[in-house]
Structure 1
Amino acid sequence: MNLKNKNEYGFLLDMDGVLYRGKELIEGAHEFINTLLDRDIRFLFLTNNSSPTPKDLKVKLKKYGLEVEERHFYTCAMATVDFLSLNKPESTAYVIGEGGILTALYEAGYGITSNDPDYVIVAEGRTLNYESLEMAQNMILKGAHLIATNLDETCPTEGGYRPGCGALVASLEKATGKKAYSVGKPSPFMMRAARKKLNLKTAQTIMIGDTMETDIKGAVELGFNSILVLSGNTSDLDLIHYPYKPRFVYKNLGGINLNELFDELDRDIRYVDEETE
């Protein structure tokens, strides 16, 4: 097998709509991920779902037949903790959310409190009540900073959809007049942090996703190479509605030939190098 990867490209991959849809693994996903593992190509799965931990996600993908490690995941919950660590270490937070965000905060040593927190963090969860929104509103009005793990307005479920983190954040923004800072895709913070975790340069980074508003928009704004797969939320007919475009479009992961992809990217890099000499 020809193992071309001369410029050491690496991948950031969305999950739902790229690897699987519902309970079904998408065509080509198993072979693509195994090829990355076999060829020791760096990659991270990026998800705007703050509820699962990396261990949860590892177990989930194993059920689809994908054997990966916890180090291969970077969630918006993890990115939120990284954001806090850079901006205000040892701070406190009031959290609307559960699971992954609470675990990430506890493991990083952050205090979770309802007594004058530094931050109000809104994440995914199914235990929201009006009292928690009221408490969060008053904390923000007293000076707590509003942080969103992501701004996805809806979340897919087996029975349809439920309001996403972005819908909850919008209600607090309206009630307080304060704008939230969002950490998840397409935020430059999360996507740049993911690139740095893989020790990749901008030109070496390839984002694969199925959603134009998050995966592709974030990649375009940061100068990453971008691949849209049509196995999820976006069809090829949808592309006319966006002022930005992905670098490549494939039906699914099975349509990506890595050697051909790397060759084309190498040609782009050589062209840029020649133009700047």
Structure 2
Amino acid sequence: MTTTVRAMKGLLIDLDGTLYHGSKMIDGADRLITYLRDKNISYRFVTNNSASSPIEVANRLLSMGIPAKQEDICTSAQATAQYIAAIHPHASVYVIGESGLHDAILEAGLDITEDKPHFVVQGIDRKLSYERITQAVRYIREGATSILTNPDLLLPSSDGLIPGAGSIGAMIKAASGKEPVLIGKPSTILMEYSLKQLGVERADTWVIGDNIATDIAAGIAANCGTLLVLTGLTTADNMDYYKSVAGCKPDLICENLDELLLTVSNYYAGNPNEQ
């Protein structure tokens, strides 16, 4: 498969399903990130997760044995807060979400309010009440801009799948009659935020993930190279189905993280044909 990208100078790497499952590291994740650090290859971990702060995400990775620091993390919550601050500094925001989203909103200089907000921001909220959904819908119908951190309908948990931010968003959208601004993958907003943090030209940046509909679609939309790893949602058996559903396909496919490491080493050295 051919691509216009000839080197891997920067990587935007998905987390859940790509480097770990739940609280368990996928084999080779530690070796991959150690290699990137040793070779000074620029990378960022890019996650649709809005519930956790960057330091919490980094600590979770470290607990699994994957090298990480706070500065490595780009979350949909951070991208959401920066998006709002850029178009409306010091805006008032009604938040449906967990601590990571609240922290990002405040760090961006925005005001969290319960009354007449400029924006309604919604992410995953595992303690959500019907009353808060009702209030969010009313504010949106009254003119507040609706923002959805990420469209994930389901999330893995220790005892099975649970409804994600996208499932909550579907209810708010249906009741308010308003389409939300989408921040997380496959939107380009999170990708543009992550590219800025990465500091590498998009022509030399690759997006790596296990989900064609989010990771790969986002990479294509951002004009980056795309590499699918068959470590999570997408497998050799269901790949054709997900390609059809997503309406796109990756530039490269790796079966596991050791194959990914070899591919990165060859592309970074400018020898893509040696993978």
Q: TM-score over 0.5 for the alignment?
A: yes
Question: Counterparts of 1:89-238 in structure 2 under 5 Å?
Answer: 89-238=89-238
Residue identity in the other structure for 1:206:
W
Residue identity in the other structure for 2:161:
Y
Query: Deviation per CA, 1:170-210, whole angstroms, max 9, x where unpaired?
Result: 11111111001110111111112211221111211111100
- Give, in angstroms, the shift of residue 239 of structure 1: 2.9
Counterparts of 2:106 and 2:237, CA distance in 1: 44
Match 1:260 to one of 234, 247, 266: 266
2:24 maps to which residue?
24
Q: In 2 relative to 1, CA 261–75 (structure 1 residues): closer, same or farther, beyond 3 Å? A: same
Counterparts of 2:84 and 2:100, CA distance in 1: 16
- Give, in angstroms, the shift of residue 221 of structure 1: 2.0
Counterparts of 1:230 and 1:189, CA distance in 2: 25
Q: In 2 relative to 1, CA 251–7 (structure 1 residues): closer, same or farther, beyond 3 Å? A: closer
Report SS of the residue matched to 2:27. coil
Counterparts of 1:260 and 1:109, CA distance in 2: 43
Does structure 1 residue 244 correspond to structure 2 residue 248? yes
- Give, in angstroms, the shift of residue 259 of structure 1: 2.9
Instruction: Judge conservation of contact 1:76–1:150 (CA < 8 Å) in 2.
Output: yes
More moved, 20-29 vs 184-193:
20-29
Residue identity in the other structure for 1:84:
I
Report SS of the residue matched to 2:126. coil
- Give, in angstroms, the shift of residue 23 of structure 1: 2.9
- Give, in angstroms, the shift of residue 222 of structure 1: 2.0
Q: Which has the larger radius of gyration?
A: 1
Counterparts of 1:180 and 1:264, CA distance in 2: 43
Instruction: Judge conservation of contact 1:11–1:44 (CA < 8 Å) in 2.
Output: yes
Q: How many residues align?
A: 262
Counterparts of 2:43 and 2:25, CA distance in 1: 19
Report SS of the residue matched to 2:237. helix
Counterparts of 2:265 and 2:230, CA distance in 1: 21
Structure 2: segments with no counterpart, 5+ residues = 1-5
Instruction: Judge conservation of contact 2:186–2:213 (CA < 8 Å) in 1.
Output: yes
- Give, in angstroms, the shift of residue 265 of structure 1: 5.3
Instruction: Judge conservation of contact 1:18–1:252 (CA < 8 Å) in 2.
Output: no
2:3 maps to which residue?
none
Residue identity in the other structure for 2:76:
C
Instruction: Judge conservation of contact 2:53–2:99 (CA < 8 Å) in 1.
Output: yes
Paired-residue identity, % = 33
Does structure 1 residue 61 correspond to structure 2 residue 61? yes
The two structures have a TM-score, normalised by structure 1, of 0.90
- Give, in angstroms, the shift of residue 266 of structure 1: 9.4
- Give, in angstroms, the shift of residue 112 of structure 1: 0.8
Residue identity in the other structure for 2:169:
V
Instruction: Judge conservation of contact 2:30–2:67 (CA < 8 Å) in 1.
Output: no
- Give the CA RMSD over aligned residues: 1.7
1:72 maps to which residue?
72
Counterparts of 1:264 and 1:88, CA distance in 2: 45
1:52 maps to which residue?
52
More moved, 253-262 vs 11-20:
253-262
Structure 1: segments with no counterpart, 5+ residues = 1-5, 268-277
Residue identity in the other structure for 1:106:
L
- Which aligned runs of 4 or more in structure 1 are off by greater than 3 angstroms? 264-267
Report SS of the residue matched to 1:185. coil
